[in-house]
Amino acid sequence: MGQQLTTTKTPDEIIPSSIVFLARALADENRLRIIMSLAKGEKTVSALVEELGISQPLASHHLKELKRALLVTVERSGPFIYYELVDPRIATIAGDLGGLAAHLLANRTTF
């Protein structure tokens, strides 16, 4: 178990695949909203479920993917499980993508 991220590859091969790996984490609206929410501080699953209006199993599923992508850490406190962003840079990068998207949309010629 646990996705193999490193093998015997040249940097040219390693880097693209690890970029793709993180980009995938941002490429789903529910995961992105989880990331943005966690950027404001650690949260329990139920807090995310309520805030985002998604089902509990769906939240757990996406949190597991974010863990697989090394983006979140998990900590239990009694019956609650807190998820926390490992590195806030992922939210910054998401913001950069949003800025670029806004720029591309504003300057696009074709509809």
Residues that bind DNA (CB under 7 A): 24, 27-31, 44-46, 49, 54-65, 74, 76, 78-81
The phi, psi pair for 58, rounded to 5°, reads: -65, -40
**The one among 8, 53, 79, 108 contacting its own copies by CB under 8 A:** 108
Binds 70: which of DNA, its own copies, none (CB < 5-8 Å by kind) = its own copies
Give φ, ψ of 60 to 5 degrees: -60, -40
Q: Please select the residue that binds its own copies; options are 8, 10, 29, 53, rule is CB under 8 A.
A: 29
Closer residue to its own copies (CB): 26 or 49: 26
Tally of helices (H runs) and strands (E runs) in the chain:
5, 3
Of 49 and 67, the one with the shorter C-beta distance to its own copies is 67
**Within 13 A of 27's CA, how many CA atoms are on the CB side?**
7
37-76 positions binding its own copies, by CB under 8 A: 70-71
